[in-house]
Each structure stands twice: as structure tokens, then as C-alpha cells.
């Protein structure tokens, strides 16, 4: 009987040790995906603002049609002339105008809303005379701001710039500006008058 | 892991108790075999499509080892026991990496997998044996606990360490069923070889342990419940006690 017990215990031990040995051989496999060729450019930021009081529409463009060289962007149309004490519903359109017809990147940003966010920073010259409140959000849990749509709220006359920044925050988006990289960083001139 | 050791200890003590009971009553016989071989898997478990949330990225073939024993309760009928493990490597990881690259819109991704799928089975059931001199052929149908342990996956997005997320090693249980036929040939009174072919099926329910999934984006599994069965062929040493 003792001999039988010894044999059974030995075989069970062999199985156990084999399992541990195979499981313990912690194999590691690594694969890398490099950048995809032919990525689109973000050449154009279009801001469309509609005055909620009278539906007056203000449109401004920031353009850099040669994003791969050092030529400065075309900011001649990057100007927002707004009325005092008004609320404007704003929508941002992001375009790749190196393609014909121009490609609208905005939809792609909406699809990838969970790790993108647009931030608006009015300059100190504007002070509290321009407030920008983002009105849309993503589908994270809890939802975080996206920034494709917003309200531009003006008070007294002032002039300055609003800095519009699109952040790409893959798996690090938390509603703050810091994490991730910058996809777009542009300025629009803002003139608030009577 | 502690759970597995407890189950193994339980199995061993049960087997030893059976032998002791057998000896006390001086009836019935026991055979015990240690086997190893090849096993297959199919279905979603072996698929490698990023967009298919059921795809398991497991290889279609793997290794199996098992302790197979039977305690005879009559001339032909035995209570069969199997303590077995099946091991499957992962495959097709490039599509996983490419999928995360696209879903997170990043310049590069690195997917690192550590370890294999490990399927452990603790099965019991009737075994019917046809003795043919030195050769005996048996058929059995066994059922019991089947556990699946998944490999660990790490996904790096570009070089931002804060964005790295993990699918940690996770385990789940389910009902396992094995049916098959085997032949044992004894060179001597006590020692022989066993060759068997078995079909195995199980669908363990694995709760996936995710870490640092900050945003709702990219392929995401919080459970994995797919059929992991297949056919296995194994060969090994058998002892008659």
C-alpha cells in the first residue's frame, strides 16, 4: 500500500511540477505598429459664430495650406468682430484643404471625441469681456467636454485674441489641458464693440 | 493560484483515499497514467480580428498534459478522473496593435503579451473498459470544473507612459466535458503505455481585469466567455495498481 501511495504521489507531483514549469515559462511576445503613411493635415480652422439674439453670423478662418514648411499661416481672415453683451453659439470646423475637395476632419474628431478636446483661452486684454463655455461632451464615463460647439459670451468692448488649442489625449483625457499632445494651436483676433 | 493548489491537493487526497479504500476492501483495481500531447482549439477563441470582441487570439493548437486514472468498481466499469492542463500560445497580435493604433489615432503602438492561455480541468465520470489481454480499450465521458487563465497584455500608446494600459492575467471557471477513447497496452503486470484521443469542451466565464483604461476608446473586454474546446491526442505511461 505504501508503495502504491508513493507511486501515486510521485505521478501527481510530476503533473504538478510540469504544470508549474510550463506556466512558469513566462513567454513574452511584442509587436509594434509604426505610423501610418498619408495622414491628413489640419490646415484650416473655421469658426462660425451665430448671435442668439438676431442670428447674425460671424465667420473666421485660420489657414496654413503649407503645413510642412515654415511659411507663416494666413491669419487675414482670423478675425471675430462681435457685439457687446451678446451670446454667440460657436461651432468649430477643422479642414484639410490640401485635398480637393477639402476634407472635413471635424467628423473624425467627433468620432474620436473620447480622447480629443478643444480648449479656448481668451487673452488678458479681453479679460472677463469674453467668456467661452463649451457645450458639447464626449461619451466617457463621466462625460468630459469636447469643444466642437461652445457659447461665446461678450460683455463690454475690448480687443484681444482667443487661443484655440486642440489636444490629442489618447487614454489620458481627464478634462484638463495638461495631458497629451497638441494637434492645433491657433489664435483668432477678437474685437468686441457696440 | 492558491485556489488551484487547493484543488490539486483535494484531487490528490481523493485519489489516495480511493486507493486506501480499495486496499481495505480488497476489491477493484486502479490504473493511473501520465499523458502528454497535442490539442486543438477552434471558434472565436482562435480568431484574430481586432473588431471581433469575441476573438481570443489563441493559437489553433497547443500542448496538453494530464493525469488520468480510473478506479474499477466492476470488471469493466471504472470511475475515471482527469487532472489536465491545456496550453495555448497567442497569435496574430499585429492586428491587435494595428487596431489600437487606429482607434487611438496615435503614431505608434506596442502590444506586449506575457504568458499563454492555460486551461486546467478537474473532471470525473464513468469509464468503460474492454480488456483484450495485454491491451485494454476504454471509452469515457467526464465532466467537472474547467478554468481558463488569460495572458497579460500591455498596450503602450506612443511613448506616453501615462497612457499605457493593461489587461491583467484573469481567470474564470465553467463546466468542462471530455469524452474520448483510449488504449492501454501493458508490457508487464504493472507498467504499460496509454494512447488516447479526447474531445473536450468548456466555456469558462472570465472576468477580465483591466487597468488604466482612462477613456472609452479602443477594443475593450471586461468579460470573456467563449468555447475553448477541441480535440486532443495524448500518449504516456500507465501503471496498474
Q: What pLDDT is attached to residue B218? A: 95
Residues 130-159 of chain A with CB under 8 A from chain B are 138-141
Upstream peptide bond of A101 is cis (omega within 30 degrees of 0): yes
As beta bridge partners, residue A160 has A190
Cα–Cα dist A123/B143, whole Å: 72
Upstream peptide bond of A142 is cis (omega within 30 degrees of 0): yes
Asked if B13 and B205 count as a contact pair (C-beta separation under 8 A), the reply is no
Torsion of CA A125, A120, B157, B49, to 10 degrees: -160
In the predicted model, is pLDDT for residue A94 greater than 50? yes
For chain A, the structural domain boundaries read 44-193
As beta bridge partners, residue A121 has A163
Q: What pLDDT is attached to residue A35? A: 75
Q: Mean pLDDT throughout A42-48?
A: 96
> Which one of B19, B105, B152, B222 makes the best mutation probe of the A interface by having the most chain A beta carbons within 10 Å?
B105
Instruction: Tell me whether residues A16 and B8 touch, CB distance under 8 A.
Output: yes
Q: What is the pLDDT of residues A133-188, one digit of tens each?
A: 999 999 999 999 999 999 999 999 999 999 999 999 999 999 999 999 999 999 99
Residue A2: pLDDT band (50, 70, 90) is low
DSSP states of B78-107: EEEEEEEEEEE-B--HHHHHHHHHHHHT-S
Orientation of helix B2-25 relative to helix A2-24, angle to 10°: 160
A172 touches B: beta carbon within 8 Å: yes
Q: How far is A173 from chain B (nearest CA, A)?
A: 7
The residues, ordered by sequence, that sit 6+ positions from B126 with a Cβ below 8 Å of its Cβ are B77, B78, B79, B80, B140, B141
Centre a 10 Å sphere on the Cβ of residue B205 and count the other Cβ atoms it contains. Answer: 12
In the predicted model, is pLDDT for residue A17 greater than 70? no
For A6, the closest chain B residue by CA position comes to: B16
**Please, what are the domains in chain B?**
2-240 (2.40.160.20)
> Which whole-number Å values give the CA distances from A49 to A64, A86, A87, A138, in the listed order?
21, 11, 9, 21
Centre a 10 Å sphere on the Cβ of residue B26 and count the other Cβ atoms it contains. Answer: 6
Q: Which three cell numbers stand for residue B226?
A: 467563449
Q: What pLDDT is attached to residue A67? A: 79
**How many CB pairs lie under 8 A apart between chains A and B?**
141
* SS3 state of residue B150: coil
Q: ∠B119-B123-B127 over CA atoms, to 5°? A: 135
Q: What pLDDT is attached to residue A41? A: 83
Instruction: Tell me whether residues B97 and A32 touch, CB distance under 8 A.
Output: yes
Cα–Cα dist A182/A165, whole Å: 7
CATH top class, domain A44-193: mainly beta
In the predicted model, is pLDDT for residue A110 greater than 80? yes
Instruction: Tell me whether residues B165 and A171 touch, CB distance under 8 A.
Output: yes
Residues 102-121 of chain A with CB under 8 A from chain B are 112, 114-115
Nearest CB among A8, A15, A170 relative to B65 is that of A15
Instruction: Tell me whether residues B212 and A33 touch, CB distance under 8 A.
Output: no
Per-residue pLDDT of chain B (241 residues; tens, 9 = 90+): 445 445 544 444 444 344 334 433 323 489 999 999 999 999 999 999 999 999 999 999 999 999 999 999 998 999 999 999 999 999 999 999 999 999 999 999 999 999 999 999 999 999 999 988 889 999 999 999 999 999 999 999 988 899 999 999 999 999 999 999 999 999 888 899 999 999 999 999 999 999 999 999 999 999 999 999 999 999 999 998 8
Q: What pLDDT is attached to residue A121? A: 97
Amino acid at each position: 500500500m505504501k508503495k502504491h501511495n508513493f507511486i501515486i504521489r510521485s505521478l501527481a507531483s510530476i503533473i504538478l511540477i510540469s504544470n508549474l514549469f510550463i506556466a512558469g515559462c513566462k513567454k513574452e511576445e511584442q509587436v509594434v505598429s509604426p505610423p501610418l503613411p498619408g495622414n491628413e493635415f489640419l490646415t484650416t480652422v473655421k469658426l462660425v459664430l451665430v448671435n442668439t439674439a438676431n442670428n447674425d453670423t460671424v465667420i473666421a478662418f485660420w489657414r496654413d495650406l503649407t503645413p510642412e514648411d515654415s511659411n507663416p499661416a494666413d491669419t487675414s481672415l482670423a478675425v471675430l468682430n462681435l457685439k457687446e453683451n451678446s451670446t454667440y453659439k460657436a461651432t468649430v470646423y477643422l479642414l484639410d484643404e490640401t485635398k480637393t475637395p477639402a476634407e472635413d476632419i471635424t467628423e473624425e474628431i467627433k468620432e474620436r471625441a473620447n480622447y480629443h478636446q478643444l480648449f479656448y483661452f481668451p487673452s488678458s486684454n479681453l479679460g472677463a469681456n469674453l467668456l467661452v463655455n463649451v457645450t458639447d461632451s464626449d461619451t466617457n464615463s463621466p462625460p468630459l467636454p469636447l469643444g466642437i460647439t461652445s457659447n461665446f459670451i461678450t460683455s463690454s468692448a475690448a480687443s484681444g485674441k482667443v487661443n484655440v488649442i486642440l489636444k490629442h489625449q489618447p487614454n489620458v483625457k481627464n478634462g484638463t489641458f495638461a495631458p497629451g499632445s497638441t494637434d492645433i494651436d491657433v489664435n483668432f483676433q477678437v474685437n468686441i464693440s457696440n | 493560484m492558491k485556489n488551484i493548489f487547493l484543488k490539486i491537493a483535494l484531487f490528490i487526497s481523493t485519489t489516495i483515499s480511493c486507493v486506501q479504500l480499495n486496499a481495505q476492501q480488497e476489491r477493484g483495481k486502479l490504473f493511473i497514467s501520465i499523458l502528454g500531447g497535442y490539442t486543438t482549439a477552434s471558434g472565436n477563441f482562435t480568431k484574430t480580428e481586432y473588431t471581433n470582441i469575441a476573438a481570443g487570439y489563441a493559437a489553433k493548437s497547443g500542448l496538453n498534459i494530464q493525469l488520468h486514472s480510473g478506479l474499477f468498481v466492476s470488471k469493466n466499469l471504472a470511475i475515471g478522473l482527469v487532472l489536465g492542463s491545456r496550453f495555448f500560445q497567442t497569435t496574430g497580435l499585429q492586428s491587435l496593435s494595428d487596431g489600437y493604433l487606429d482607434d487611438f489615432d496615435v503614431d505608434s503602438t506596442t502590444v506586449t503579451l506575457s504568458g499563454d492561455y492555460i486551461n486546467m480541468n478537474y473532471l470525473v465520470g464513468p469509464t468503460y473498459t474492454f480488456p483484450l489481454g495485454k491491451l485494454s480499450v476504454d471509452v469515457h465521458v467526464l465532466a467537472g470544473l474547467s478554468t481558463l487563465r488569460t495572458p497579460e497584455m500591455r498596450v503602450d500608446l506612443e511613448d506616453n507612459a501615462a497612457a499605457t494600459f493593461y489587461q491583467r492575467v484573469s481567470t474564470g471557471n465553467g463546466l468542462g466535458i471530455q469524452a474520448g477513447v483510449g488504449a492501454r497496452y501493458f508490457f508487464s503486470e504493472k507498467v504499460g503505455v496509454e494512447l488516447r484521443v479526447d474531445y473536450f469542451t468548456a466555456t469558462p466565464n472570465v472576468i477580465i481585469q483591466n487597468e488604466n483604461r482612462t477613456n472609452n476608446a479602443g477594443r475593450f473586454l471586461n468579460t470573456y466567455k467563449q468555447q475553448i474546446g477541441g480535440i486532443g491526442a495524448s500518449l504516456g505511461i500507465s501503471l496498474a495498481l
